[in-house]
Structure 1
Amino acid sequence: MFGWLALIVGLYFLAGWVGSSIPANREFTESADGVEIIVGTNGVHTTIAMPLRNADMDWTRIFPPSDTANPWRNYTHVAIGWGERAVFLNTPTWGDLSPLTVLRVVSMGGDALYHVEHWVRPAPSPDFRTIRISRAQYRKLVRALLRDLPERTPTRAVYPGYTDQDVFYDARGTYTTYKTCNEWTGQTLRMAGIRTGAWTPFAGSVMKWVPPFDPAYVPDGAPDRVPGK
């Protein structure tokens, strides 16, 4: 039994490596004068960050800083990630992750949430890398990010985050071993026309397609700090 289990796990990782090695949107090139986004990772989970406001989108209309416990900071960026509800809400640290939760998610899947963080002048780093995309691609990215957000109502639920600068919202979709949080990131990038893997179930599956961090690069605006959790 353990041998078969090891084989299944090994095949899953192999399939993830193969799927993420097949390029989607291979003709993509960075735009010289477009919108700078950030693809970030904590080693397990990935997120997409964008300017809080620009000519194409004002994210404060969708994710107002007033939903956070610290709405008074001069936020410049919003970071959006998608994941499994129980994992997001009940595991502020990886040490809090229950084996039973992992087993349930792997075997049955789970409802989804959006994790939304507000950042102030995030500084690029090896784990938070920039991509400059065209405005047309950015508008596609916005539409892709909004696709899993339920229609907003006056009583939309807001769940406290890990810090005073992040919160959770209900999201459409079901987390599965196929559609993981990182495959959601990859799918979102693919829908915007950005080059990434055809299937990206792991954080590394996403990040291997993002241009490496250049310490000499100066991002838009004055960098403040590397984003937190």
Structure 2
Amino acid sequence: MHAALTLLLLLLGGTLVPVNRQFRPTPDGIAVFVVSNGVHTDLVLPLREDRTGTDWLSQLQQPALAARFGGYQYVGFGWGSERFYLESYGGKLPGATTMLRALAPGRTLMHVDFYRQPPRPGRHVAALRISPAQYQRLAAQVALYFAPDSSGPTVLRNAAGYTPDDFFFRGRGRYHALRTCNDWTNGTLRRAGLRAALKAPLAGSVLYQVRRATREPAEAQP
């Protein structure tokens, strides 16, 4: 019991320790967002970004999606447990058995959600403006977690997600108690050189450090 409590305190304490503390937003940079539903976090990026030549519909190589969502502006990416995602359809909360099984290493999916307009910053949405170089690193990190097969760089797991605008793709990596959806979001920000938490077990952990990045005194970018 004491060991579990100590581990929990260490995990939560990691929320307060910043990584890439020197990061500062780029005033005229590319707008990206961290979006939470209170439990899970997604990264929301421009569907097309002219300065870096990034086009997510092209990268996904899914012609039906390209035809359907070509007029949208943003796309969200989340990573998580296949078991948990697939038992969450219809707004259901997965049962205790699924939650416990998700604590053990298991397969993952990438959740892709198309947005007609950028998210509106608020309680569950934090916005950052980043440089083109930072955006390229961020996009490259996201792309790494799609599991390819012989037919292309992405594999649709299901023909539909929770809504008409979201989908699940086969993901790379294993989900477990110490490697969660929020850790993925946090780690992706960190590896792109953006401010992040040392450890982010909760959605609030990710949002806290992203918001701190916008409040630090401005200084020259490296």
Q: TM-score, with normalisation over the residues of structure 2?
A: 0.85
Query: 1:220 maps to which residue?
Result: none
Q: Deviations over 1:35-86 (max 9, x none)?
A: 1101010010000011100122100112367555x92572100100000001
Aligned identity (percent) is 32
2:125 is aligned with 1:125: no
Query: 1:102 maps to which residue?
Result: 99
Does the 8 A contact of 1:65 with 1:71 survive in 2?
A: no
2:59 is aligned with 1:62: yes
Question: Among 14, 37, 40, which residue is 1:42 paired with?
Answer: 37
Cα gap change, 1:130/1:193 in structure 2, threshold over 3 Å: closer, same or farther? same
Q: CA RMSD in A?
A: 2.3
Question: Among 10, 17, 27, which residue is 1:15 paired with?
Answer: 10
Does the 8 A contact of 1:67 with 1:158 survive in 2?
A: no
Query: 1:33 maps to which residue?
Result: 28
Q: Distance in 2 between matches of 1:65 and 1:118?
A: 13
Q: Distance in 1 between matches of 2:69 and 2:92?
A: 31
State the 1:17 CA deviation: 1.6
1:1-229 aligned at under 5 Å gives the runs: 4=1, 7-55=2-50, 56=52, 57-63=54-60, 66-67=63-64, 71=68, 74-92=71-89, 95-106=92-103, 108-126=104-122, 127-151=124-148, 153-154=150-151, 156-159=155-158, 160-211=160-211
Out of 202-211 and 148-157, give the one that drifted further: 148-157
Q: Deviations over 1:102-156 (max 9, x none)?
A: 11112x2211100000001134132122100111100110111111112354373
Which letter does structure 1 place at the counterpart of 2:60?
Answer: F
Any gaps of 5 or more consecutive residues in structure 1? 215-229
Cα gap change, 1:192/1:61 in structure 2, threshold over 3 Å: closer, same or farther? same
Cα gap change, 1:128/1:152 in structure 2, threshold over 3 Å: closer, same or farther? farther
Any gaps of 5 or more consecutive residues in structure 2? 215-222
Does the 8 A contact of 1:16 with 1:205 survive in 2?
A: no
Q: Distance in 2 between matches of 1:77 and 1:63?
A: 14
1:131 is paired with a residue whose SS is strand
